[in-house]
Amino acid sequence: MHPQNRKIYFIKNKILLFSVVLLFINATPIDKNVSKSETTGITLLKFPKTIGNEIFYLKRDFVAFKEAVAFKESQGKYATVNTLGYLGKYQFGRTTLHRFNIYNTEEFLANPELQEKAFVALCKVNKWILRKDIKRSVGKTMNGIKITESGILAAAHLSGAGNVKKFLRSNGTERFSDAYGASIQSYLKKFANYNVSNIEADKHAKV
């Protein structure tokens, strides 16, 4: 092998090795029947990421939470518009976007960074609206579902904070489902137990 080619080959191998090390730092190999790492005790998300022939689970943090919501809403596709006119990776309604002074829907669909910022801002607003209900309800069980903060925020994204407030304050008797059959209950269950503590309640959150 030519010395110059050997040097390039060596550098590429070092980069590949470094990338693999980073992946192992940020993801832990799991057993299908285990929800926590036996070595660290960190709760892991059952949202598989395949690297070669290995399957890894991601930590249940806010990043994992928003990506799980996005996959449910649009399979994570920024340019998606559904049959009811909801937009983007997180399927925003136009009224919600107007709250954040976003009126150009074509620009919104073409701007992933704006969509990510809008999702974070909406979570902050919903957390503020539901702050008392989060304090009162987290840890309780309603209709067989354990109430968690992340479940509440996901349900608010689906139905609006007002409908979640009604559900929680009625002990689960006042229910809501969207046009596709997704319900507050299903979101409370599906998106439970993520760590969303880094999201601060903010009535005036902006994009």
Residues 144-154: pLDDT tens digits?
Answer: 999 999 999 99
Does this model's pTM top 0.85? no
Same-domain status, 89 and 169:
yes
Same-domain status, 172 and 79:
yes
Same-domain status, 71 and 159:
yes
Long-range Cβ contact pairs of 67-70 (< 8 A, separation 24 or more): 68/190, 68/191, 68/194, 69/119, 69/154, 69/157, 69/191, 70/119
- Among residues 159, 122, 130, the alpha carbon closest in space to that of 147 is found at 130
Residues 24-51: pLDDT tens digits?
Answer: 334 433 333 334 433 333 344 444 555 5
Same-domain status, 128 and 149:
yes
Q: What average pLDDT does this structure show over 202-206? A: 97
**pLDDT band at residue 179 using 50, 70 and 90 as cut-offs:** confident
